[in-house]
Amino acid sequence: MGRGLSAAPVSPRLALGAAALVLLAAAALPSPAAGVNVTAVLSAFPNFADFARLLASTPVAGELAGRSSLTLLAVPNANLPQSPSAFVAGAGADIADVLRYHVLLEYLSPSDLARLPPSGKLVTTLFQTTGRAPSDFGAVNLTVGANSTVVVRSPAPSPGSNATVLGAVTAVPYNLSVLAVGGLILPSGFDLAASESRPPPPVNITQVLTDARGFNVAASMLQASGVANEFEADEHGAGITVFVPTDDAFAGLPATDRLQSLPAERKAVVLRFHVLHSYYPLGSLESIVNPVQPTLATEHTEAGHFTLNITRVNGSIAIDTGIVQASITRTVFDQNPVAVFAVSKVLLPKEMFSRGDSGSTAMVPPSVAMAPGDAGSEQTPQTRLSSPPDLHGEDSESSAALATAKGTSWWCIGLMYLQLHLLLSLV
């Protein structure tokens, strides 16, 4: 009879080595493709900070987190409209859908673009997946133009929005390719020229400030107060002009102002105080005939109250509230009937705040600030607390209470001493 083969004993060192080889082999295998944080990738490129901010302000950034093998057509800061949201709204489009139109569901490197056929290449975008694009109008057509430049345009037969590929920005190989394009591309069906025949939609001032840089405090205050909703009705007719303090202006407020601690109704008055109920582009403000201008806050009180004095000083436009002197630092948005300007300081109305001898400001009590008949009079709020009552003076009741408290304390001490003595005697 033949003898069976017996297995040789395996040394512990050999077993450990085999296990290590298995782990190394598993690590070498390609892992399933994972989504890329597009905004984090763009954060390394300041020239695309505004485009990255747009992505982060919409659901699009979250939608990209679960996808791979993408090409992002990013627009540099200098090539974006002054207010992308207003630009897109004027065409009757949604900013999120326009951004989805800039996401190609295929990884395209610069070498792939160099091999485009003469007829071009049709590539599906993230917008096509929403079901809101008719036919294949949710795709883009990549064609080679003059001087071997690549042009991105809609496949629709009618002429539409298009942009030129400026070059490659960065890439996560086979997962994300970022290409720079010369401007925002609108899907077919949304056309700025066609929108001229219908009334323009109201400008979302809060979104305009969010798109711009350095107005986070003002945007959040407008949104939380509900005052921004009043602007849409005020845009019709003469339009509106909004003076918006920068984040630095809010940070520079003296601690005595305590603007953020104001009740909601008084904070709304301060916000309305920053708005004129007329559309004034920068040139009109420079040559304004009547320097004293009523504000939206004036409409909620009596005439002559809550006004701004607007003048031209040393080549710039100065705004005087009576206690604060600010200046316009730049134009944020200007599209009839809405103009938005950045100002160097928070505009504090003299009807609600007073200026001390040192030049600092302090809040006026509500009874003084909001009294219609007294708003223009010079009233100085109480600036210090009254002294506390003298315990040894005229307040006899307080003195008696203090004497009673002292007697009770001595009685308690005596009782504790007696209990301690009895306890020791028992021991």
pLDDT tens digit string along 127-143? Answer: 888 877 777 788 899 99
In a shared domain, residues 220 and 268: yes
Nearest to 104, CA basis, from 64, 77, 144, 156: 64
Share of the chain above pLDDT 90, in %: 31
Q: What is the pLDDT of residues 191-208, one digit of tens each?
A: 434 433 445 567 888 888
406 has pLDDT over 60: no
Amino acid at 320: D
Does residue 340 contact residue 239 with C-beta atoms inside 8 Å?
Answer: no
Q: What is the pLDDT of residue 74?
A: 96
Query: Among 301, 318, 352, which residue terminates a domain?
Result: 352
Residue 399, domain member (yes or no): no
307 has pLDDT over 90: yes
- CA dihedral over 252, 255, 256, 258, signed as positive or negative: positive
399 has pLDDT over 50: no
In a shared domain, residues 269 and 168: no
In a shared domain, residues 167 and 96: yes
Query: Which residue carries 């060192």 as its tokens?
Result: 13
Mean of the pLDDT values across residues 394-398? 38
CA 32 to chain centroid, in Å, comes to: 35
Mean of the pLDDT values across residues 72-87? 87
Q: How far is Cα 356 from Cα 353, in angstroms, rounded to an integer?
A: 10
Residue 270, domain member (yes or no): yes
C-beta neighbour count of 312 within 10 angstroms: 13
Residue 195, domain member (yes or no): no
In a shared domain, residues 71 and 209: no
pLDDT band at 301; cut points 50, 70, 90: confident
Question: Exposed, middle or buried: residue 56 (CB in 10 Å: 0-12, 13-18, 19+)?
Answer: middle
Per the prediction, the chain carries an average pLDDT of: 75
In a shared domain, residues 52 and 163: yes
In a shared domain, residues 159 and 223: no
Q: What is the pLDDT of residue 116?
A: 92
In a shared domain, residues 210 and 345: yes
Cis peptide before 199 (omega within 30 of 0): no
Residue 162, domain member (yes or no): yes
| Domain around 127 | 38-181
| Cα-based angle 78, 208, 179 (whole degrees, multiple of 5) | 35
Kind and range of the H or E element at 397?
helix 396-426
Residue 30, domain member (yes or no): no
Query: Among 352, 380, 408, which residue terminates a domain?
Result: 352
pLDDT band at 357; cut points 50, 70, 90: very low
Does residue 57 contact residue 210 with C-beta atoms inside 8 Å?
Answer: yes
pLDDT band at 404; cut points 50, 70, 90: very low
Q: Which residues of 150-175 are buried (b: 16+ CB within 10 A; e: fewer)?
A: bbbbbbbeeebbbbbbbeebebeeeb
In a shared domain, residues 258 and 133: no
Residue 371, domain member (yes or no): no
pLDDT band at 26; cut points 50, 70, 90: very low
Provide CB contacts within 8 A for 291, sequence distance 6+.
309, 310, 311
**What are the residues facing 20 on neighbouring strands?**
none
Between the two ends of the chain, the Cα-to-Cα distance in Å is: 96
In a shared domain, residues 348 and 246: yes
Q: Which two tokens stand for residue 368?
A: 């003084």
C-beta neighbour count of 303 within 10 angstroms: 9
Residue 6, domain member (yes or no): no
In a shared domain, residues 212 and 334: yes
Q: How far is Cα 36 from Cα 94, in angstroms, rounded to an integer?
A: 24
User: Is-above-0.95 flag for pTM?
Assistant: no
Count of domains observed in the chain: 2
Residue 43, domain member (yes or no): yes
In a shared domain, residues 175 and 254: no
Beta strands of 292-421 (E only): which ranges?
Answer: 292-294, 307-313, 316-320, 325-335, 338-343, 353-355, 361-363
Amino acid at 286: E
C-beta neighbour count of 28 within 10 angstroms: 7
In a shared domain, residues 97 and 227: no
Query: Among 352, 370, 405, which residue terminates a domain?
Result: 352
Share of the chain above pLDDT 70, in %: 68
Does residue 228 contact residue 240 with C-beta atoms inside 8 Å?
Answer: no
CATH code where residue 95 lies: 2.30.180.10
Nearest to 268, CA basis, from 301, 311, 308, 313: 301
